[in-house]
Amino acid sequence: MIINGVTIDETFAEAFGMRATRLIITAANLRWANHAANAATGFATSVIGCGAEAGIERELSPDETPDGRPGVSVLLFAVSGKELAKQVERRVGQCVLTSPTSAVFSGCDGEEKIALGKNLRYFGDGYQISKLFGSRRYWRVPVMDGEFICEETTGVVKAVGGGNFLVLAASQMQALLACEAAVEAMRKLPGVVMPFPGGVVRSGSKVGSKYKALSASTNDAFCPTLRGIGNSELSPETGAVLEIVIDGITEADIRQAMRVGMQAVCAIGAAGGIQRITAGNYGGKLGKYHFHLREILA
């Protein structure tokens, strides 16, 4: 398959089952909602080293939030509900509770529940109080600029992590510009985040290493400086490879995001230095979700 001069490899991205939740962070204005959301989703690129994968889903207008203030929707993913609960408590406690004017609410109604404000309320040192609205409990925790309002729990749902595709280009900047266009298009979709910086990964990895302590190491087959050494996947004309990783609430969410992202790359095409689109997988042996590139773009 060739689209606008770009070869689409006959391969698939291999993704994994995860657990996810959505949090709604509000503040006096969008600037401070984004400060809290950016802090809460920091150091969350890969569960390999971060414990969670997270990102901003979208900004919310006052009529879309529980307290009628500007807000930001964030998605957090982890390998289990237990790990997700730990990550949510730490990140909300250190990054949202601390941020001026902030409040946080559940944006996810999964049957499984994890603590949101349930444990953070103890920061109130006995002065915290709760209110029950229907079946939802909220906590009011006194802080130095007023009160921190937080919902007691948030729902957890099954999710998918690790959808991906790789962009091969003649130069580093051409690969980067194409990935920027892809991420911009993908961020318009609900239910997905691209957890790496700017949504783009340069250090794609393979399973295992010559060093026993490492579970993953550089994807040498796609490193331009290693062309000619070992089993390189690169032609002499390829100057750089960048990867986009997608986490989504559903398999369909990731499929749609991959489609939109790859279409944006193909729109730049061979005239913009784009040569191939491929994907990272482990032979189909590790992840239960397989996203075939040509099938998605057909």
Residue stretches of the chain with pLDDT short of 50:
none
For the 2-14+160-297 domain, the top CATH level (class) is alpha beta
Q: What is the pLDDT of residue 295?
A: 98
Q: What is the pLDDT of residue 230?
A: 79
Residues of the chain with CATH 3.30.70.520: 2-14+160-297, 19-157
CA distance 50 to 162: 14
Q: What is the pLDDT of residue 135?
A: 87
Please count the other Cβ atoms lying within 10 Å of the Cβ belonging to residue 68. Answer: 11
Fold of 19-157: Alpha-Beta Plaits (3.30.70)
- Tell me which long-range contacts 174-178 makes (C-beta under 8 A, separation of at least 24): 174/239, 174/240, 174/272, 174/273, 174/274, 175/239, 175/240, 175/241, 175/242, 175/273, 175/274, 176/200, 176/240, 176/242, 177/268, 177/272, 178/242, 178/264, 178/265, 178/268, 178/272, 178/274
Residue with tokens 């991205």: 13
Strand partners, 3: 6
